[in-house]
């Protein structure tokens, strides 16, 4: 290294280390080596202290301030990361099913102990969540005395330091990041390897794997290596292999690890890719994941809150349901029902179904439930049977298991009532739902994987998806809900809004709505991958309607912005979808007469009071004249 001045200066290295150097006197301080995370630069010396998020290290060249972030510390004196008691944290689980905000009160056996405003004291495993905030586990500031005390009690072998006291660019290749666990050896030769979410891998894939054999007109050779690893080979009548699929079911986060390291062709998730995951995949040369051909929405996972068929209560708010599970509401008379204690039924801890339910009811938090909650065990059939046998019970199941029971509607704070039906789940306007995804690298989609994606997006997979208790995207038709007209004129304060509401009021009784619903990002009128897949299904449905059928493509906006601007935006969105339908459908839709409509922010599907509400209300609906 060239001359190091004895005055303060900033060093720029090939790696990520940045330093401030000042004059130092020789001290017999504990020795450490700091390495940049990329392994391209290192610094050896005597650890003086940790101040303001910087290691203070001295050697013959001077004192160096090295940022703790992006650096690995080696040596007996290296401080152990710890949380800041009293600091604020936001904790998010790998699958986004748990989101907790609060103050760190303790850190015990690797668990954050967090005091939350709504749910009291919670204990959360630090290895199962990502943490942001000043209370997160990190390198804390240490005085010189604390450094010396820590080094004196350390039991590590003293570190061998290089003789050159200056900053040493290392020529050694950085240690490889441990890759996700490899699939079972006997499944590694599969033509298509799946990795990721157990909700998809264990809940949906078994049905798709069996049904895919009918799609290929093939026989199945199945091997279950464990409860989470399955290999299926598809053979023709001559015994030749047509395709082979290996499924490794763990968690959604593992999908992106496996895609990045090319240990899977398709990643299974029960949530969309996060910003960091999408950025990491781009950096790995895998292309853009979200909203592209590399992201495939294959089904919707949704639940119904159920009671006994004789229970007169037909609707509750999310707050009321949550209070029942937290023990704050204990009698049906408190919500307009009979004077009877409530039997509250839930699923065991760790159940993905319970995760979906609590994510929707408790805004992503997983609070400790009341002691009076009971757990009937088993899965959807056992929960449905328990509710059917108890007139005072409340529980939750997959939609297909709620037949014959009292499905509760959800009342919102703005007075909109959402009815629990497969139709509202398909339109993604029922709160207890989430999308299920398959992701692939842009540079690694074998023909066999593309063939499976073609199958799962086609009507051929609809029955298998329904049998698995998830909701498919087959097009359905129904009359408009009467509630749309009942709330149409609420809170209108502009003449143009009232005039447009009058037009919509006259329109609604003359049209049916299809379940195909297209949504847009804020201010956008561009279509995504899922929307184009939905339009392909819609075209097939419309092609079978009688000649001269009138179809309206109807746009809506959220409530942000001026009413007239939103009216124009909703019309543009409708025109965009209509053009896509016309271009893709071509001569197949010669039987259809199209028209477009834009109704601004009228007739919201849900309350316009949150990001999720705005997202749901930015939509284009498809209507068919009666």
Tell me the backbone φ, ψ of residue 92, rounded to 5 degrees. -130, 125
- Name beta bridge partners: 598: 555
pLDDT tens, residue by residue, 521-544: 555 556 667 777 888 999 999 999
Tokens coding 528: 């995504």
Query: What CA–CA distance (Å, rounded) separates 327 from 306?
Result: 18
The predicted structure's pLDDT at residue 364? 67
Please state which of the ranges 10-19, 369-378, 578-587 shows the lowest mean pLDDT.
10-19
What is the band of 28 on the pLDDT scale with cuts at 50, 70, 90? Answer: low
- φ and ψ at residue 332, rounded to 5 degrees: -60, -25
Instruction: Answer with the residue of higher pLDDT: 84 or 238.
Output: 238
Do the beta carbons of residue 64 and residue 51 sit within 8 Å? no
Of 131-135, 326-330, 500-504, the one with minimum mean pLDDT is 131-135
Judged against a pLDDT cut of 60, whether residue 26 lies above it is answered with no
CA distances from 43 to 40, 55, 62, 175, 517 (A): 11, 11, 12, 17, 58
Residue in the block written with tokens 């950096």: 283
Average pLDDT score over residue span 215-221:
96
Out of 110-114, 180-184, 446-450, give the one with best mean pLDDT: 446-450
Mean pLDDT (whole number) for 229-252: 94
* Mean pLDDT calculated for residue range 380-388: 90
CA distance 451 to 447: 6
Average of pLDDT values for 95-115? 74
Mean pLDDT of the chain: 81
pLDDT of the residue at 31: 81
Q: Percentage of the chain with pLDDT > 70?
A: 82
| pLDDT for residue 388 is more than 80 | yes
Q: Among 10, 25, 35, 72, which residue's Cα sits nearest to residue 168?
A: 35
**Between residues 439 and 358, which one has the greater pLDDT?**
439
Residue with the bigger pLDDT between 426 and 115: it is 426
Lowest-pLDDT range, 172-176, 302-306, 457-461, 581-585? 172-176
| Both structure tokens of 517 | 């619903």
Structure token pair of residue 584: 């893709």
Whole-structure pTM value? 0.62
What pLDDT digit, counting tens, does each position of 69-81 carry?
778 888 877 887 7
Find tokens 């090939």 and name the residue.
14
Tell me the per-residue pLDDT of 246-293, one tens digit each, with 9 for 90 and over. Answer: 999 988 889 999 999 999 999 999 888 888 999 999 998 888 887 667
- Give 275 or 364, the one with higher predicted confidence: 275
Q: Any idea what DSSP says for residue 165?
A: -
Average of per-residue pLDDT across 202-214: 95
Query: Which of 51-65, 320-334, 428-442 shows the lowest mean pLDDT across its residues?
Result: 51-65
Q: Which residues contact 474 (CB under 8 A, 6 or more apart)?
A: 426, 459, 462, 515, 537
pLDDT, one tens digit per residue, over 487-526 is 777 778 788 889 999 999 999 999 999 999 988 655 555 6
pLDDT at position 40: 66
Range in 41-45, 456-460, 465-469 the model is least confident about = 41-45
3-state class of 318 per DSSP?
Answer: helix
Are 601 and 617 spatial neighbours (Cβ–Cβ below 8 Å)? yes
Residue with tokens 């543009």: 572
The whole-number average pLDDT for the span 121-149 is 72
Q: What is the pLDDT of residues 393-407, one digit of tens each?
A: 999 987 778 889 999
Q: What is the mean pLDDT of residues 294-313?
A: 92
Structure tokens at 77: 């004196």
Distance CA 78, CA 571 (A): 62
Q: Are 304 and 399 in contact (CB under 8 A)?
A: yes
| Structure confidence at residue 155 (pLDDT) | 39
CA distances from 193 to 183, 188, 242, 262, 441 (A): 8, 8, 15, 10, 13
């Amino acid at each position: 290294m060239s001359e190091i001045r004895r005055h303060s200066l900033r060093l720029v290295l090939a790696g990520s280390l940045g330093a401030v150097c000042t004059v130092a006197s020789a001290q017999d301080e504990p020795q450490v080596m700091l390495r940049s995370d990329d392994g391209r630069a290192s610094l050896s010396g005597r650890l003086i202290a940790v101040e303001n998020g910087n290691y203070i290290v001295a050697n013959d060249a001077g004192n160096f301030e090295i940022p703790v972030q992006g650096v690995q510390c080696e040596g007996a004196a290296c401080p152990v990361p710890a949380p800041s008691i009293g600091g604020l944290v936001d904790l998010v689980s790998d699958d986004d099913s748990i989101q907790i905000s609060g103050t760190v009160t303790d850190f015990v056996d690797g668990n954050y102990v967090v005091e939350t405003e709504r749910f009291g004291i919670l204990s959360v495993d630090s290895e199962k969540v990502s943490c942001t905030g000043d209370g997160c586990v990190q390198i804390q500031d240490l005085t010189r005395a604390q450094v010396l005390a820590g080094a004196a009690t350390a039991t590590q072998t003293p570190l061998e330091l290089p003789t050159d006291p200056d900053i040493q660019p290392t020529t050694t290749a950085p240690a490889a990041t441990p890759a996700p666990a490899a699939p079972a050896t006997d499944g590694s030769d599969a033509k298509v390897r799946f990795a990721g979410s157990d909700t998809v891998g264990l809940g949906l894939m078994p049905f798709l794997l069996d049904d895919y054999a009918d799609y290929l007109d093939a026989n199945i050779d199945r091997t279950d290596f464990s409860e989470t690893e399955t290999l299926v080979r598809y053979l023709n009548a001559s015994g030749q292999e047509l395709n082979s699929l290996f499924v490794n079911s763990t968690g959604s986060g593992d999908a992106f690890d496996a895609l990045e390291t090319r240990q899977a062709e398709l990643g299974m998730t029960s949530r969309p890719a996060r910003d960091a995951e999408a950025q990491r995949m781009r950096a790995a040369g895998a292309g853009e994941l979200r909203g592209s051909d590399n992201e495939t929405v294959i089904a919707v996972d949704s639940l119904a809150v159920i009671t006994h068929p004789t229970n007169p209560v037909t609707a509750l708010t999310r707050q009321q349901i949550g209070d029942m599970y937290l023990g704050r509401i204990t009698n049906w008379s408190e919500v307009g029902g009979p004077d009877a204690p409530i039997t509250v039924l839930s699923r065991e801890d760790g159940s993905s179904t319970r995760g979906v339910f609590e994510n929707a009811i408790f805004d992503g938090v997983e609070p400790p439930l009341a002691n009076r909650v009971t757990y009937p065990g088993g899965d959807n059939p056992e929960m449905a049977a328990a509710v059917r046998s108890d007139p005072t019970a409340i529980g939750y199941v997959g939609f297909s298991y709620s037949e014959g029971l009292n499905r509760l509607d959800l009342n919102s704070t703005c007075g909109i009532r959402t009815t629990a039906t497969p139709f509202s789940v398909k339109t993604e306007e029922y709160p207890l739902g989430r999308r299920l995804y398959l992701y692939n690298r842009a540079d690694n989609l074998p023909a066999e994987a593309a063939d499976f994606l073609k199958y799962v997006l086609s009507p051929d997979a609809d029955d298998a998806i329904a049998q698995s208790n998830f909701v498919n995207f087959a097009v359905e038709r129904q009359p408009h809900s009467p509630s749309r007209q009942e709330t149409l004129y609420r809170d209108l304060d502009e003449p143009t809004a009232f005039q447009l509401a009058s037009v919509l009021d006259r329109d609604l009784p003359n049209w049916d709505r299809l379940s195909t619903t297209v949504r847009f990002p804020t201010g956008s009128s561009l279509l995504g991958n899922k929307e184009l897949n939905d339009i392909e299904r819609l075209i097939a449905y419309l092609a079978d309607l009688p000649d001269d059928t009138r179809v309206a493509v109807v746009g809506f906006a959220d409530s942000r912005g001026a009413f007239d601007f939103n009216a124009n935006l909703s019309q543009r969105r409708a025109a965009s979808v209509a053009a896509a339908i016309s271009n893709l459908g071509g001569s197949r839709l010669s039987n259809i007469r199209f028209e477009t409509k834009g109704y601004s922010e009228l007739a919201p599907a849900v309350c316009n009071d949150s990001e999720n509400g705005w997202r749901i209300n930015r939509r284009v609906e498809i209507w068919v004249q009666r």
